[in-house]
Structure 1
Amino acid sequence: MPHSKKKPTTTTTMLPLLLLLLLHPSLSLNQEGLYLLQAKQSLYDPNLSLSDWNPRDATPCNWTGVTCSPSPSPSAPTVTSVDLSNLGLSGPFPPVLCRLPNLSSLSLSLNYINSTLPPSSLLPCPSLARLDLSQNLLVGPLPSSLPSLPSLAYLDLSANNFTGPIPPSFATFPNLQTLSLVGNLLTSQLPSFLSNLTSLRHLNLSYNPFSPSPIPPSFSNLTSLHTLWLAGCNLVGPIPPSLGRLSSLTNLDVSANALTGSIPTSLTRLRSAAQIELYANLLTGPVPAGFSNITTLRRIDFSMNNLSGALPDDIFLPPLLDSLHLYENNLSGSVPATASRAAMLAELRLFSNSLSGLLPAGFGRLSPLTFVDLSDNALSGEIPGTICHSGALGELLLLDNYFSGNVPESLGRCRSLTRVRLLNNRLSGEIPAGFWALPHVSLLELTGNEFSGSISPAISGAGNLSKLLISRNQFSGSIPKEMGALSNLYEFSAADNKLTGTLPQELSDLAELGQLDLHNNALGGEIPSGVVQSWKKLSQLNLAGNGFSGEIPAELGDLPVLNYLDLSGNSLTGGIPLKLQNLKLNQFNLSDNQLSGPLPPLFLTSTYRDSFLGNPGLCGDLSGLCSGTEDGSTDHHGLVWALRIIFVLSVLILVAGASLFIWRYWSLKRAKQRTDRAKWTLTSFHKLGFSEYEILDSLDEDNVIGSGASGKVYKVVLGSGEAVAVKKLWGSAKKDVECPDRILYDDGFEAEVETLGKIRHKNIVKLWCFCSHKECKLLVYEYMPNGSLGDLLHSNKSGLLDWPTRYRIALDAAEGLSYLHHDCVPAIVHRDVKSNNILLDGEFRARVADFGVAKVIGKGPKSMSVIAGSCGYIAPEYAYTLRVNEKSDTYSFGVVILELVTGKLPVDPEFGEKDIVKWVCAALEQKGVDHVLDPKLGPSFREEMCKVLNIGLHCASALPINRPSMRRVVKMLLDVSPGDRSCSEKKNGKLTPYYYEDASSDQGSVV
């Protein structure tokens, strides 16, 4: 973000130009050129994009962004268009541009134009027909004088920070055809007076925080309207049936609101519609019949509502329909037979409904299907053999249904498939050899069926396979050696089958293998050490319930990220390798084998006792493991007991002396404290089982567990055995004699602490109480045993954070921030969101913590006197303007997401002068997404990581208005839960967010 600097006045701006012309008579720049130079000098141009604006030229017609047309005088062409979009310019809007008498088009979009837009700044501009100021930093109310521009036909003020209501004067534009105010901070209700603009063709008001309001029925008067985009406008009530009269409408998008009632049948009369988007509302009732009458309709999205009843027979029959989304409703009945006649259908998403019955015969024969998701229904019968007839099917997701029969032979020839999920059905028979060998499939999930036969050696042809999940079937035979050719294989799960034979040596070629689960089969032989030592990325190994024999390979202890090891229920012999002590194991089970010998020293704790049960030959100091005592003489035992008695007596004497010393020390300390105790006050926010004195007595340096910008943190174990965290706040000026760690408070500090103390949310660290003594302040929080996300993520313990855990942490933290922003009244802005302020409990569930610089704000941004926050997390506009609102937290949370996905610090020497946001953007552009994903996580969850990376980049957008609200972030994260559906695409070298679609485009585009 460029730094602001004081702009010269008009007089001082023009003076150098006038002097230049006087001193050089040969210079003859016309008046329009002088106006443009004046505009240039009022703007900050860090990239020197306007360096060719030369005062020595006669006219500005060859300057960057300037277009001229001949005037009545051939020697004096006139400026008709100025396009300075996406040049990195900053500063206030230059009103001098409106002195150009014939200017018809002006675009300053995608810059950093800031400040307010004065009411008269765009006057006179008598010829201006097109004005685009979108994606800047403009603030304040919308200028009510804009309708005074007599020729204005196109107005785009999207993605700024305009506030307040839409002015009533906006009903008086004489010739306006496009009005786009998307993504501002506009309030009040959606105004019905816009229905007076009968010349409108495009009305785009999406993603503004309007007050809850209905869709004005009078919008049906806009008979020339082509686009009506009202997504995310806080709309309530029913969809007006009168909208069906908009016969020219091509795009209707009222998604992501709280609309209720049924879908009006009148919408089937939108005879020009190309797409109708009603998703993410509260609509009920059936899907009306009649959409087949719209011959131009290409996209229907009624997903994420409460629609019920059967699908109408003609829903698949609009002749151009290529995308049908009806997922996450309560639809019932069968898939209509007309689905097999959809000639253009490419994308079908009907998952999470209650559909039943068979898929229509011939389904896919006439359709160029690329994506089919019918998961989580009650569909039955066989998978149609025609489903990939077009040869374009990329993803086939049929999980959690009742499909039966064989996998069609035709699917073994569907070489376009990339993801196949058939888990939890009733499919049976042998898998076609070609199906094992599909060259582009990355995920093949057949778990929870009744498949039989063996894994075909043809699987060597599946060169892109990353996850092979075939557990809970009846597969038999050996693991083919050809699996060693699967160089991208990350997860192989074949548990609960009937596999036999040994582990092939060729599996040593699986360098990317991260998870191997073969438990409950009939495999045997030795676990080959040469195979094991090559699996450097292996994090999970489960060979339990087989017939493996021989010794445990010591090479397992050399695997750097192995944290799950289960070899129980085999016939393994020999001792436990000492190298296993090198592993940081979350799951460890060697029980029910034939192991013998002593336990390695680090395993001699009760924590590991159950890991070794059922091995009679093992011996150690853990009760129940030794089968007998070792031989030894009576004299030897007597000597041992004598030494033990001497040791115990020595310890007792030492403890008694230490206890006496400690008792005297504490007695003196308590005597000193009694005189001050009456001065402490305690404000509790929950029912407490302790007093402030129990806290005060434990504030020793030995109990310090951390310190930050706002205080030192102690771990205090109470008499009840419960632990709490106590923050003693730092001072900000000279220190107090009685309280060295002193802080100077503003008058609202206690009120803010009281507000925070009333927070009740599972993802906010609980504030038990607040203790104060003069200027000493103590905050008592619940204790989080796994510390902070930052400390864990950026340490050698990061292996504990696999991708599902990281995803869950991101979701937990997002829900906590969403609560602060949207459910607290007034809203609370944290102002220091970072990974070190996200704490983890014993189950790695996250809580947002450290409200040392939090601010309770009312409506609108709040200015701060100083910058609060941490390096690498501070939003650009916050550092630049000191104006804070919820979007500042959203930016910081985006940085946390990037940390989780990349494993990198927010600021790192590896980035040079960049921070993590700029580094990720540059790396994606130059090297691709695989370069930024944390290699410790492996490729198993690549798609989900890709989606979450997109969300992080969207949160960390440079423009506040482009960042989603935290409530929206929670929704987006829920939509990409690990193992779930489609991923973002990479287009032109860039990751494309999948979650917003533009109603002005048939296919959808990024906002």
Structure 2
Amino acid sequence: MNNLTSLINLQLSDNNFTGHLPPQICQTGTPVTFVAANNHFKGPMPKSLKNCTRLYRVRLDENQLTGDIAEDFNIYPKNYIDLSGNNLYGELSSKWGQCHNLTSLKISNKKISGKIPLELGEATRLGVLDLSSNHLIGKIPKELGRLKSLLKILLNDNQLSGTIPSEIGRLFYLTHFSLAVNDLSGSIPKELGEWSRLLFLNLSRNILNGSIPSTIGSMQSLQSLDVSHNLLVGKIPQQLGGMKMLETLNLSHNNLSGSIPFSFDKSASLTSIDISYNELEGPIPNIKAFHNASIAALQNNKGLCGNATGLKACPKTIPNHRLKRSNRFLVVILPSLLGTLFIICIIVAISLILCRKVRKIEDKLIEAQNHNLFAIWSYDGKMVYENIIEAAEEFDSKYCIGVGSYGSVYKVELRASQVVAVKKLHLLPNEYEAHNSDFGIARLLKPDSSNWTSLASTYGYMALELAYTMEINEKCDVFSFGVLALEIIMGKHPGDLISSLLSSTFTTCDMLLKDMLDQRLSLPINRVTREVLSIVKIAISCLHIVPQSRPTMQQVSQKLSTQKPHLLNSLFTIKLEEVVDLGGSTV
């Protein structure tokens, strides 16, 4: 390898290589990418790695490499590093904070000691921080709250102490947060409730005290919550029962008291619970997660009852003190309630008599209005919107009759006494996360048919020809699929790219394919690169300016399912012009 003076990309991962890494692997300082993960390399880091000042991406995880991470690995890649699963030791350097473009730092399952550097808060593009299963001590730096791009923080299985800094609550994009198996104390910050995208939260096996913040119930995306083996007290917040995505809940080995909130009766997504070793009492919620729970998950509480293994049945009779209270309530309230109902009946009867005289005249007007109602609406969308807003009082919650995953349904009575159901969709939230609720029109129609309708779709996703043909068919959905597929690949709406593809000059033809991908994620390797390239080609073919030249969804499905050929070029050299046919076969 001494003769490879122009080596840029070296990938040795997922093999059974043994022995030592080549000592002169970076003698010339040219490598940009060095990947040797999932092998059996052992011994120290090559000394020549210190010369690799241009390193962009390093993956040496899951080997048996040894040495002091601060001395033997004195390099700081610009984008991605994973050294997990080796036998390295030493302390983390403050120089990691100088890597302002670093997106992923993974150094877990090692013997790393010392404190987490405060300077790490200066690596503002960091998306993944995994320092789990080490020997780190000291406090969690509040400076981590500056890392607004963080998606994952994994600091579990260390010896961290102090409190959880409230500044962490500013990391609104977090999906995974684990501080389990440490020596953290104090209360759980209420600011954590701001994490609306969080999927997994694990604070177990610490010495946290105080109560569980009710703001935790605001994490509507949370799937797993574990605060077991702490010193938490108080009642279980009823807001936890309203978490619609929660699947696993572990509150065991604390000092929680009171009864389990009735709000858990609607927790249909909950599949696994553990509330053992607390001071809870009263009936368990009437859902499968509690009924199918093991004895170990419910044991050692003050007095739980209900339909579960190991629990006694709840009493069917009403206690005497509750019965007496109910009798006093009836004696005081019932007479006044009957009197009020009598007065209301008289008022209603008088109103009916008066309204009957007016109704005959109104019926004629209503009949005429009903006859032309939807004909007028078809030509005046603004009037439709204003009528609905006025009748629904700005979509007041009292008119809401149902809530779904993508919107709410309201019962609205229009001026012509026409009662309609109006669905208010949430297609494009602030994070610009598109939903597919208006891209399935074509599958409701016959395969070769088309529909004429008013333009009612999501701008930015609908086919270009809809603006002048108003004709909805399968090719419209194919175009929308292409836009959505590119949005997932790019991490943003591809509006600028589509506009450039439409341009006769095609100004983005020299763009590298890797620069088009979501910059928050690490670049794909091996088989994933082929899949990404295939998806980009298919998505762009769906954007053909001529609808008849677009593939069908069946053809798209077949292309996505076929095996992809090996790439002849590296992802670092593939240009967008190689994906797009400049002769006009795409957009």
The TM-score by the shorter chain falls in which range? 0.5 to 0.7
Question: Displacement of 1:918 after TM fit?
Answer: 2.4
Residue 253 of structure 2 aligns to a residue in which SS? coil
Question: Displacement of 1:608 after TM fit?
Answer: 3.1
Residue 454 of structure 1 is matched in structure 2 by: 139
CA shift in 2, pair 1:323/1:384, >3 Å: farther
CA distance in 2, matches of 1:566, 1:559: 14
Residue 15 of structure 1 is matched in structure 2 by: none
CA distance in 1, matches of 2:111, 2:61: 14
What CA deviation, in whole Å up to 9, does each residue of 1:445-496 have, x standing for no partner?
1122222222111111211111001122222221111101212212101212
CA shift in 2, pair 1:404/1:912, >3 Å: farther
- Is 2:567 the partner of 1:567? no
Which of 567, 574, 583 is the equivalent residue of 1:997?
567
CA shift in 2, pair 1:553/1:931, >3 Å: farther
CA contact (8 A) 2:206 2:229 kept: yes
CA shift in 2, pair 1:589/1:964, >3 Å: same
Residue 451 of structure 2 is matched in structure 1 by: none
Structure 1 unmatched ranges of 5 or more: 1-290, 292-313, 634-794, 799-869, 880-901, 903-908, 934-938, 970-994
How do 1:590-601 residues align onto structure 2 when only pairs under 5 Å count?
Answer: 590-601=275-286
Q: TM-score, normalised by structure 1?
A: 0.35
Residue 381 of structure 2 is matched in structure 1 by: none
Residue 47 of structure 2 aligns to a residue in which SS? coil
- Is 2:96 the partner of 1:373? no
Q: Pick the structure with more helix per residue.
A: 2
Residue 13 of structure 2 is matched in structure 1 by: 327
Question: Displacement of 1:438 after TM fit?
Answer: 2.0
CA shift in 2, pair 1:917/1:445, >3 Å: farther
Residue 508 of structure 1 aligns to a residue in which SS? helix
What CA deviation, in whole Å up to 9, does each residue of 1:66-119 have, x standing for no partner?
xxxxxxxxxxxxxxxxxxxxxxxxxxxxxxxxxxxxxxxxxxxxxxxxxxxxxx
Question: Displacement of 1:1004 after TM fit?
Answer: 4.1
CA distance in 1, matches of 2:568, 2:59: 23
Which of 445, 448, 457 is the equivalent residue of 2:130?
445
Residue 346 of structure 1 is matched in structure 2 by: 32
Residue 597 of structure 1 aligns to a residue in which SS? strand
- Partner amino acid, structure 1, of 2:279: Q
Residue 523 of structure 1 aligns to a residue in which SS? strand
CA distance in 2, matches of 1:497, 1:950: 43
CA shift in 2, pair 1:456/1:379, >3 Å: same
Residue 483 of structure 1 aligns to a residue in which SS? helix
Residue 386 of structure 2 is matched in structure 1 by: none
Residue 608 of structure 1 aligns to a residue in which SS? coil
How do 1:12-31 residues align onto structure 2 when only pairs under 5 Å count?
Answer: none
Question: Displacement of 1:418 after TM fit?
Answer: 0.4
CA shift in 2, pair 1:352/1:915, >3 Å: farther
Which of 452, 474, 482 is the equivalent residue of 2:159?
474
- Partner amino acid, structure 1, of 2:241: G
CA distance in 2, matches of 1:591, 1:365: 56
Question: Displacement of 1:545 after TM fit?
Answer: 1.4
What CA deviation, in whole Å up to 9, does each residue of 1:3-48 have, x standing for no partner?
xxxxxxxxxxxxxxxxxxxxxxxxxxxxxxxxxxxxxxxxxxxxxx
CA contact (8 A) 2:40 2:64 kept: yes
- Partner amino acid, structure 2, of 1:326: L
Which of 193, 209, 224 is the equivalent residue of 1:540?
224
Question: Displacement of 1:915 after TM fit?
Answer: 5.5
Residue 563 of structure 2 is matched in structure 1 by: 968
CA contact (8 A) 1:424 1:447 kept: yes
CA distance in 2, matches of 1:409, 1:1001: 32
CA contact (8 A) 1:924 1:932 kept: no
Residue 156 of structure 2 aligns to a residue in which SS? coil
How do 1:132-143 residues align onto structure 2 when only pairs under 5 Å count?
Answer: none
- Is 2:507 the partner of 1:507? no
CA shift in 2, pair 1:1000/1:517, >3 Å: closer
What CA deviation, in whole Å up to 9, does each residue of 1:819-866 have, x standing for no partner?
xxxxxxxxxxxxxxxxxxxxxxxxxxxxxxxxxxxxxxxxxxxxxxxx
Residue 179 of structure 2 is matched in structure 1 by: 494
How do 1:871-950 residues align onto structure 2 when only pairs under 5 Å count?
Answer: 914=475, 917-923=478-484, 929-930=490-491
Residue 170 of structure 2 is matched in structure 1 by: 485
CA contact (8 A) 2:535 2:560 kept: no
Residue 968 of structure 1 aligns to a residue in which SS? coil
Residue 387 of structure 2 is matched in structure 1 by: none
CA distance in 2, matches of 1:604, 1:508: 24
Question: Displacement of 1:426 after TM fit?
Answer: 2.2
Residue 549 of structure 1 is matched in structure 2 by: 233
CA shift in 2, pair 1:462/1:604, >3 Å: closer
Residue 810 of structure 1 is matched in structure 2 by: none
CA distance in 2, matches of 1:365, 1:454: 34
Question: What percentage of residue pairs aligned between the two structures are identical?
Answer: 27
Question: Displacement of 1:628 after TM fit?
Answer: 10
CA distance in 1, matches of 2:85, 2:190: 36
Which of 521, 533, 537 is the equivalent residue of 2:206?
521
Residue 91 of structure 2 is matched in structure 1 by: 406
CA distance in 1, matches of 2:225, 2:490: 28
CA distance in 2, matches of 1:460, 1:508: 15
CA shift in 2, pair 1:601/1:547, >3 Å: same
CA distance in 1, matches of 2:481, 2:560: 22
Question: Displacement of 1:350 after TM fit?
Answer: 1.0
Residue 379 of structure 1 aligns to a residue in which SS? strand
CA distance in 1, matches of 2:166, 2:557: 51
- Partner amino acid, structure 1, of 2:172: S
Q: TM-score, normalised by structure 2?
A: 0.59
CA distance in 2, matches of 1:628, 1:448: 44
CA contact (8 A) 2:179 2:204 kept: yes
CA contact (8 A) 2:487 2:493 kept: no
Residue 615 of structure 1 is matched in structure 2 by: 301
Question: Displacement of 1:400 after TM fit?
Answer: 1.5
CA distance in 1, matches of 2:105, 2:79: 9
CA distance in 2, matches of 1:601, 1:591: 18
CA shift in 2, pair 1:481/1:343, >3 Å: same
CA shift in 2, pair 1:366/1:597, >3 Å: closer
CA contact (8 A) 2:96 2:123 kept: no
CA contact (8 A) 2:137 2:160 kept: yes
Question: Displacement of 1:996 after TM fit?
Answer: 5.3
- Partner amino acid, structure 2, of 1:1003: T
CA distance in 2, matches of 1:518, 1:345: 40
Residue 569 of structure 1 aligns to a residue in which SS? coil
What CA deviation, in whole Å up to 9, does each residue of 1:247-286 have, x standing for no partner?
xxxxxxxxxxxxxxxxxxxxxxxxxxxxxxxxxxxxxxxx
CA shift in 2, pair 1:441/1:326, >3 Å: same
What CA deviation, in whole Å up to 9, does each residue of 1:165-186 have, x standing for no partner?
xxxxxxxxxxxxxxxxxxxxxx
CA distance in 2, matches of 1:555, 1:394: 40
CA contact (8 A) 2:259 2:281 kept: yes
Residue 79 of structure 2 is matched in structure 1 by: 394
Residue 581 of structure 1 is matched in structure 2 by: 265
Question: Displacement of 1:572 after TM fit?
Answer: 0.6
Residue 465 of structure 1 is matched in structure 2 by: 150
Residue 533 of structure 1 aligns to a residue in which SS? helix
CA distance in 1, matches of 2:39, 2:265: 49
CA shift in 2, pair 1:916/1:375, >3 Å: farther
Residue 322 of structure 2 is matched in structure 1 by: none
| Count of matched residue pairs | 396
CA distance in 1, matches of 2:171, 2:153: 10
CA contact (8 A) 1:568 1:593 kept: yes
CA contact (8 A) 2:538 2:556 kept: no
CA contact (8 A) 1:599 1:620 kept: yes
- Partner amino acid, structure 1, of 2:66: S
Question: Displacement of 1:421 after TM fit?
Answer: 1.5
CA shift in 2, pair 1:538/1:912, >3 Å: farther
CA distance in 1, matches of 2:473, 2:567: 35
Question: Displacement of 1:913 after TM fit?
Answer: 5.7
CA distance in 2, matches of 1:617, 1:961: 58
- Partner amino acid, structure 2, of 1:536: Q
